[in-house]
Amino acid sequence: MIEFPTSKVTDLDGHDGRLHSVVRGRNDYDVPAPPAIDSDEFGREVELFLSARHDVKAGRWPYEYFEAIGLDPAVPDMFRPLGVTEDDPVSAARLVDHAMDKTIDLHHAFVDHFKGAKLKKPQAERSPQSAGVDFLGWREFDAIVLENVHKALIEAFQVKYFYAFPRPEHHFAAGALIGEYGCPPHPSYVAGHGAIAGTTVQTWIDHVKLTDAQITQAEHAGRHYAHYRTLAGVHWAMDNTQGYELGRQVSAL
């Protein structure tokens, strides 16, 4: 099994104070430590991963995987126009490796899906230059989403290199169950895509007037987007779950 460097302070210290405090031994965003490799908890992660990947390789939608982590296994409606379908599980891997791999892509999918939604910030509270111009309000919101996503990714990568947890590819020594598109070269825990999803969903909930049904749709899509990285064979389920929660914490108002 390939192991990442495990130095948590000495090799990362002295960078003009730009590294987040999690690298220095604090945990400001309440990210739990990953389980030990020889623990029953990690054994469960391996089972989940194998369940998902066996299904994907066999062309079956991984219903059992989603049910085991407490998610509705149905493909979110906003992803169906992008080609994701239960009939082709690799389509979910393609979504997070090609079609929607940029940091702003999930936000754009939300914009397309929730057409007509209004921002919570009243126009009267805007500056005189922007009052009454909703277009400018949405451009401001785009910037807020980007800022929160980038903050979440910075935090996620501090966590990655603090815990230096191996990816499935390293654990299985690049076996046949790794993803179709190869494995990123940085540690597994937590997932960057999970952080993107969590912060995008939370920012939308905080800033946009969504109905309860729309909030449910946003949560459903965000969590699916995060967990498609396990379907793609490059993350453990816990990476996605904790990355998502980290993203929500970083962006929460």
Please give the pLDDT value at position 253: 59
Query: Do 244 and 223 touch, CB atoms closer than 8 A?
Result: yes
Please give the pLDDT value at position 144: 93
pLDDT in tens, the chain (253 residues): 333 333 333 333 333 333 334 444 445 677 889 999 999 999 999 999 999 999 999 999 999 999 999 999 999 999 999 999 999 999 999 999 877 778 899 999 999 999 989 888 755 455 555 544 455 578 889 999 999 999 999 999 989 988 889 988 877 765 556 666 667 788 999 999 999 999 999 999 999 999 999 999 999 999 999 999 999 999 999 999 999 999 999 987 5
The residue extents of the domains of the chain are: 36-251
Please give the pLDDT value at position 241: 97
Please give the pLDDT value at position 163: 87
CA distance 225 to 235: 12
Amino acid at site 239? D
Q: Residue 67: exposed, middle, or buried by beta-carbon count in 10 A (0-12, 13-18, 19+)?
A: exposed
Q: How far is CA 133 from CA 119, 208, 243, in A?
A: 12, 16, 35
Please give the pLDDT value at position 123: 52
Q: What is the DSSP letter of 24?
A: G
The sign of the dihedral angle between the CA atoms of 51, 52, 55, 56 is negative
In 3D space, the residue among 172, 173, 167 whose CA is nearest the CA of residue 238 turns out to be: 167
Q: Tell which CATH architecture fits domain 36-251.
A: Up-down Bundle (1.20)
What's the whole-model pTM score?
A: 0.84
Strands (E), the chain: 118-119, 208-209
CA 127, chain centre distance (Å)? 34
- List residues bridging with 208 in a β-sheet: 119
Please give the pLDDT value at position 8: 34
The interaxial angle of helices 192-207 and 212-231, nearest 10 deg, is 170
Please give the pLDDT value at position 24: 46
Query: Do 152 and 196 touch, CB atoms closer than 8 A?
Result: yes
Please give the pLDDT value at position 135: 53
Query: Do 246 and 194 touch, CB atoms closer than 8 A?
Result: yes
Please give the pLDDT value at position 11: 36
CA distance 53 to 200: 27
SS (H, E, C) 119-140: ECCCHHHCCCCCCCCHHHHHHH
